Structure 1
Amino acid sequence: MGGPEYISMIAGEAKDPRRTVPRAFRTIIARLLVFFVGGALCVGILVPYNDTTLTDGSKTYAGGSPYVISMQRLKIPVLPSIVNAALLTSVLSAGNAYTFNASRSLHALALEGQAPMFLRRLNKKGVPYMAVIVVMLLSCLAYLALGSGSAKVLSWILNFCTAATMLNWSIMAMTWIRFNAAMKAQGIDRKAFLPVVSRFQPYAGYWALGCGFTFLWLQGYSVFLKGNWEVSTFIFDYGIIALAGGIGLFWKIFKRTPFRRAADIDLTSGLQFFDALTEYYRHQRDEAPVTYKDKIMAKIF
């Protein structure tokens, strides 16, 4: 389920972000329900927990995928291949999304002086190519899955990423809670201030913070069960807490950045630029497409 929140990062390079990004977000819930929850329900109906193909350790990744196994159990020859193709498109889509977001994150850190300076470099198209190269090199770690011994290392990295996702959600929720507190303290009406207002707030923010923070500590609980203790597993399940906490504490002390009260948080810097940008795109939309090609492209995009 991790990843849909990164759509917000596309706003930095999207056309008319105040209009297009909320529209993209509105489709997420339906897609998650249909493809993830619905898909898991269908697989759970078709594949019993003790299926020998599912529990056979020799079959890994696509060959041991419950989605592929469910198609095989239906005994329709072409379906497993179709599912494999669908899984490949999903992997390509995820890889594209994470490459984009990771490279833009590195570039943004470099601009803030929190990452090496060479990551600031852009090509003629405005793409932070050095950051993209670094991210693509890191993706080569996926080849660890090809070796039986190195696959263990890949498993550790995946556990580390899972914990990082929980931490990510916790920080996002805390950020929104502080943002909401700043609006209240400064007498700003959220419905008038924001172009789109999210539902179930502030309760959804507290819910996300509670769930993210709880699962951050519980997602590696099995290592504490009798006979399951492994130092390496413990480090990769819970190391992100020490790493992120240490970096945050170091930066706070080293840079002496202040803790701000809700009434003192800056909510307006750069706002005029985005208001002007939104007005510019509104005038562009008012210009009706002339040719059929323009009309079709406008309808699609």
Structure 2
Amino acid sequence: MSSRHLLMISLGGVIGTGLFLSSGYTIHQAGPIGTIIAYLIGALLVYAVMLCLGELSVAMPVTGSFHVYATKLIGPRTGFTVAVLYWLTWTVALGSEFTAAGLIMHQWFQNTPEWIWSALFMIVIFLTNAFSVRFFAEAEFWFSSIKVVAIVIFIIIGILAITGVIPIKGYAHAPGLHNLTANGWFPTGFKGVFTTMLTVNFAFSGTELIGVTAGETKDPGKTLPKAIHTTLWRLVLFFVGSIFVMACLIPYQQAGVTQSPFALVLNHIGLPFAGDLMNFVVLTAILSAANSGLYASTRMLWSMANEHMMPQALSRTTHHGVPFIALVISMIGGLLALFSSVIAASTVYLVLVSVSGLAVVFVWMAIAICQLIFRKKYVASGKKVSDLVFKTPWYPFIPWFAFIGSLLSCVLIVFDDAQRPALFYTLPIVVVCYVGYGLYMKLSRK
């Protein structure tokens, strides 16, 4: 992958349905000011994680990076658990993304069953990943470009509406910043800022894809730092900028998850075909997430096989360098998640979604700990920190901030009735991974 691909993948990986759909839930739960604060904290947390991952990825550029780092620096059981949780995160996402894509297409073609569109998109995404790494990267580049352009246009239109240049329904004058404090600074209480942090972190998940691509990137010593250093301003511009516009133009009581807050804003402005335009952008975001998700889950399986944690058949690649068997298994996992969303939505699928939402935060915690251990071992071996091509700044503050911030976002969901089950479902799976790895290694030696 070239620098152009990596920069857009790192940006596109984080701009998904979390921003286009679940941001409405955050505004409703935390209020306008609370949501802006939550996203700012989330952006700083993710940037800290990326700074940690940057030092590790440049020093040890391998595909499936953080799972390999956790194996070498913390222990094989932790590495295995991190890989399984991350694989599960993206595989479960595949099922939900294909379902959502079918639902959107059904709105335009109501006489065609949703499953036909879901199946069609599965084939497209599978083939995109099956041809070659460059083909995947090129497709993701254009998917991401559409999302980025759409958000920039949305922010510009929103600012014009806020300042009164464009009239908006229900307002005789420019709304300005009135909605931000119309019901007080924190209408739902300040605790809403913290209880919605898991939702915010889920919206930011995907930035760590930079690490997964490290082993298939041209000149990682140059391209990875460039992508990572632009992470913070991109998150602030696209996420916080979008949230600011929404919070100014939508009373927080109207925000939710039943309709995209982007579509709600554009409908208030009276933009023609606002619903169809946003459906197209959300469809692009969904396909982009599915494309990245299949790539990430495939590379995780390949990496586990390469580290002798899974059957060696999963490490075989085509002449284009694509781990085809791992790709097929990941797609089957996505199909099973899709079926469970229809057959056992209130049991199996609920557990899978809860675990996948929290799993990425566990991965971030592992990345921070790996960086702390790596730097300590690097210095202990007699090497100089100045010799590192990419250095995590303000060591050890940055990795500790990344670890503690991620940990708190897990613990604080105990106070949110809707999200509390995620913690109770995830912890047993972590235990099963640790025990299961030990059993697998014993059986494989016999």
Q: TM exceeds 0.5?
A: yes
Once residues 262 and 348 of structure 2 are traced to their aligned partners in structure 1, the CA distance between those partners, rounded to angstroms, is 25
1:197 corresponding residue in structure 2: 391
- Indicate conservation of the 8 Å contact 1:163/1:238, yes or no: no
TM-superposed deviation, 1:153: 5.2
Secondary structure of 2:271 counterpart: coil
What RMSD in Å do the two structures reach over aligned CA positions? 2.9
Once residues 212 and 271 of structure 2 are traced to their aligned partners in structure 1, the CA distance between those partners, rounded to angstroms, is 41
Once residues 416 and 290 of structure 2 are traced to their aligned partners in structure 1, the CA distance between those partners, rounded to angstroms, is 29
- Indicate conservation of the 8 Å contact 1:119/1:131, yes or no: yes
Deviations 1:9-58 (A, max 9, x none): 2111111121112222223222211111211121122221222xx45xxx
Amino acid at match of 1:211: G
Which of 420, 424, 433 pairs up with 1:247? 433
Q: Percent same amino acid at aligned positions?
A: 24
Secondary structure of 1:72 counterpart: helix
Which of 206, 210, 214 pairs up with 2:404? 210
Once residues 136 and 99 of structure 1 are traced to their aligned partners in structure 2, the CA distance between those partners, rounded to angstroms, is 7
Q: TM-score, normalised by structure 1?
A: 0.69
Q: Say whether residues 1:163 and 2:358 are aligned partners.
A: yes
- Indicate conservation of the 8 Å contact 1:109/1:115, yes or no: yes
TM-superposed deviation, 1:144: 5.7
> Which structure 2 residue ranges, 5 or more long, are not aligned?
1-203
Map of 1:12-23 to 2, 5 A cutoff? 12-23=215-226
Once residues 42 and 244 of structure 1 are traced to their aligned partners in structure 2, the CA distance between those partners, rounded to angstroms, is 39
TM-superposed deviation, 1:142: 4.1
TM-superposed deviation, 1:104: 0.7
Amino acid at match of 1:77: P
Amino acid at match of 2:272: P
Amino acid at match of 1:238: F
Secondary structure of 1:77 counterpart: coil
Once residues 390 and 274 of structure 2 are traced to their aligned partners in structure 1, the CA distance between those partners, rounded to angstroms, is 41
Once residues 206 and 12 of structure 1 are traced to their aligned partners in structure 2, the CA distance between those partners, rounded to angstroms, is 26
TM-superposed deviation, 1:172: 0.7
Q: Say whether residues 1:237 and 2:423 are aligned partners.
A: yes
Once residues 97 and 161 of structure 1 are traced to their aligned partners in structure 2, the CA distance between those partners, rounded to angstroms, is 15
Distance 1:118 1:149, change over 3 A: closer
Once residues 123 and 201 of structure 1 are traced to their aligned partners in structure 2, the CA distance between those partners, rounded to angstroms, is 41
Map of 1:211-290 to 2, 5 A cutoff? 211-223=405-417, 234=421, 236-248=422-434, 251=437
Map of 1:1-301 to 2, 5 A cutoff? 1-51=204-254, 54=255, 60=258, 64-140=259-335, 141-142=337-338, 150=345, 154-192=349-387, 194-223=388-417, 234=421, 236-248=422-434, 251=437
Amino acid at match of 2:271: I
Distance 1:83 1:191, change over 3 A: farther
Deviations 1:108-156 (A, max 9, x none): 10122212333122112110011111222222324666x5972775444
TM-superposed deviation, 1:107: 0.6
Deviations 1:229-286 (A, max 9, x none): 9xxx73x433322322443366469869xxxxxxxxxxxxxxxxxxxxxxxxxxxxxx
TM-superposed deviation, 1:102: 1.2
Structure index of larger Rg: 1
